[in-house]
Structures are given as C-alpha cells and as structure tokens.
Amino acid sequence: MKRSFVLVIFLISWLFSQAQINHITTTNPLFYDEFREGIVFFAEADPVSTNLNYNFVTQEMLFIDHNTNAILTLTRRQDMTHIEIGNDIFVPIRRGGWALVIQNGSVALLEDTRFVPMAKRRGAYGTPLTTSGAYTVSSLGAGSIIGVGGYANHAGIGGGANSSQLLNIEYPIEYRIDRGHWLIRDRNIYAATRRNFLRVFHEVRPQLETFIRENNIDFRNEQHLRGLTMFANSLLMTK
C-alpha cells in the first residue's frame, strides 16, 4: 500500500512540476500574461465565449467587452458552473473568487490561491500610485455581454482601457500567499479536510481511512491531497 502511494505521489509531483507555470510576478497579479479565449458555462443556459483573465489580488475574473474593448469584472451568477480557459478549469467557490481544478476526476480537487497585498508602491509625498476602486460590475448573459452602469476608473484607466494597459498597472510589490483546497462533487463544494474527504468519498470510507492512516496524510500538503484524491477516485471507479 505504502509503495503504491509513494509511486502515485512521485508521478503527480513530476507531472505537476512539468506543468506548473509561474503566472504571477510582483507587478502583475494576473494568472495569464495576456487575456485568453475562454468559455463560461451555466447550469441552464448556453455557454458564452470571451477573452478572460484572473486577478489573484482582487479575486475577480476579468473579461474584455468586444464592443468597447473595456476590461470588466465578470459578475458571478448562481447558475455559473465553471469556466474553461485552454486546459485550465476555474470553479466559483463560496468564500468568493475562483478556484483552479488541480486534480480532476469524479471528485475534483480545487486550489484557491489568494495574493494578499502587504505593501504598495508609493508616489510623491507618500501617496499610493494605485487606487482600491473596482472595475465596473457587468453581467455575462447567455449569448451576450451586458454592461451595468458606467465604466469606473481604476488606477487611472477609463472606458477605453485595453488588456495591455491593465497589465502595465503599478500593483503592490509584496504579497502574502494564501492557498486553500476544496473538493467538488455534483456541484457541491467542501473544504479539503480529513472529515470531508471521508464524507465526500463515503462509498469507499473504510479503504480511505486505512490509506490515510498508513500513509500519514498531511491535509496541509498539496501533493498529499492530489495523491489522496487520485487514489480515492480510483476506488470509486471499481465500485
């Protein structure tokens, strides 16, 4: 059992190291270097395609309004299920923001990364170079993008803002990284704790309890969580 677990962890660690990309710099809190084509999925509506990017600091999913070329914040609707950008899948979580699927399966493991500003660049006389204002809140409807209200300034950007301007904004230079992990099954999301693993994978609880005990699973360790999720999903497949 332990030997098989070590093999699983080794394979996951290798695959993750090959796929991991350093998306964030101290001056750019966006997940991607540029806005990318993505698809927003709904429970009871047709999916919508648009150019998207994710801001780790504000916890906002951003999109480009193709009519005005403005960068707007995507309003989270209750019927939104997930967003796909290339091979990446983002899921809305209850504490706000979006979590990235890092281990897929019947039950997926999500990682919620937050970059909390610790300090800001300062201009003349100690005044901040950036503001704390939000982008205009907009609604993404099935088949169309509908803006609500006027476009608010953010760090000196007006209604004609484009993605290249956004990427050049002066942001805080120091962050505290806060990561959380979640499980999602049948659109229900749970914190990735020992109790919730046994709850979500209730069909294979005895085997999972043994596996957790024998392998000394650390629920604060991402690689352990990925390996545990993969193992638990493999048990479900045999049911």
Residue-wise pLDDT for 79-117, tens only, equals 899 999 999 999 999 888 999 999 999 999 999 988 877
Helix (H) or strand (E) segment spanning residue 208: helix 205-214
Q: Check whether 71 has a pLDDT greater than 80.
A: yes
Would you state the structure tokens that stand for residue 165, as one six-digit string? 């301007």
In the chain, domain spans: 22-194
Mean pLDDT over 41-67 rounds to 89
Q: Using one digit for the tens of pLDDT, what is the confidence trace for 2-21?
A: 444 444 444 444 444 333 33
pLDDT at 155: 25
pTM recorded for the entire structure? 0.69
Q: Among residues of the chain, what percentage have pLDDT more than 90?
A: 44
